Structures are given as structure tokens and as C-alpha cells.
Amino acid sequence: MKPARPTRRPARPRTASLAAAAVLAVVSALAGCSAGSGGEGTPPPHVVEASAPVPAAQAGSVRPLARSLPVRVRMPSTGVDTGPGGPVLRLGLAADGTVEVPSEAEADRIGWYDKGVTPGETGPAILIGHFDTARGPAVLKDVAKARVGDEITVTRADGTDVVFRVRELEQVDKKTFPTAKVYGDTTRPELRLITCGGELAGGHRPDNIILYADLVAARAA
């Protein structure tokens, strides 16, 4: 499938229209999550799909923050800690208009889509990582351990830790990616963590696994 290309590239795109254009590129790029021979022995990534409503006391309880780049991602339940030695990658657009993903050499790192909001700003901040590549397991190799209620902490360049709580886990065929749900505007700071999933088919994972999370705390790192 030929991905759609954003028609404009403002400095800080936040609108649903730009998000809808960009998401097709993201889906196509993630379709390139190839495990190859290195992933043949890796159990296929599946998540237990679940969701929970946002408690009324939590919704909008943390004030949105100003823009600041993410530098570290931690999710204890899945063993993710990009650490100070492996800073968060900035993922932009490739020459063909598709969204970049971490290279195989950087499969132990998580990338942030830098045409969207930063974690802590109002809107859905997007993080992308590999489950595996031809080299073997990658940063999100234990994504199947994720559960509703787990916390994802993102350290920002301004010295703030923003803590997100997983509200929903979803595994979808890449052909039916929920564009508006993932990239549509939100009224509060949210986070999406996206990787590949499903049984290998022709050296590729046919699904996307998506974690939806809400901001629950912001504190000094």
C-alpha cells in the first residue's frame, strides 16, 4: 500500500487532519517490522486486550506541560528502560513521506514521532519500538506482559518525569489500523506506545500492538 503523505509540515502539527494523514505513513512503516530468520524462535507477541475507564478524579487532574523532548522511557512491567546510554530517538518523515522507525541497529531503543506533541503536552504523544528484528528480540520483546494499570514514565529534557497509566491494550491487523483513535486530538495529555505483533507471515508481523495511556503525574526527575 502506498502511504499517504502529509500535505504540510508546520513546526508543531497537532490537528486531527494532519494526524490522519500521517498515521497511514506510520502504519505502512510499522508494516516493515520484519523479524526475518532472527525472529523465527521468538514466541509471537500477543497482548491480552483490555480497557478501563479513566476515573473521574483522574481525568484532567494533571495540568498539561509545555513542549519538552523525551529523553528516557521506562515501563517496569515489560522490562523497558532506555536508560541514559540509549536516549529516545527522534523519528521524522523519510524521503518517500513514510514515518521513520528505529533501524535494526537501534532496535534496543524507542523512538518518538517528532511531528506530534511531546509527552506531557495536550494530545497523543507517539512512541514506537520494535518487538524483534532479523537480529533477534528488541526493546519491546516483553510487550505481552503489559496490562491495564501499568505505568510508563517518560523523562523529558526539562528534567520532568511524566507518568502515564495504561488505560487500554489493543492488537489490530495493520490493514484495519484505528487511525482516528490513535492519532485524533484529545483534550488531555495522552500517550501511545506502538509495536508489531502476531504470528510471522512472510518474515513480517501482520499486527500492531497499541498501548493507550493517560497522564497521571508530573514530577521532578
Pick the residue with more confidence: 200 or 36? Answer: 200
Helix (H, G, I), strand (E, B) or coil at 68: coil
Predicted TM-score of the model (pTM): 0.82
CB-facing half-sphere around the CA of 206: CA atoms within 13 A: 8
- Which fold, 16-35+64-220? Sortase; Chain: A; (2.40.260)
Domain boundaries, the chain: 16-35+64-220
pLDDT band at residue 97 under the 50/70/90 scheme: low
Conformation bin of residue 134: beta by default, left when phi > 0, alpha when psi is -120 to 50: alpha
What's the pLDDT tens digit per position in 143-192? 999 999 999 999 999 999 999 999 999 999 988 988 889 889 999 999 99
Distance, CA of 161 to chain centre: 17
Confidence of residue 96 (pLDDT cuts 50, 70, 90): confident
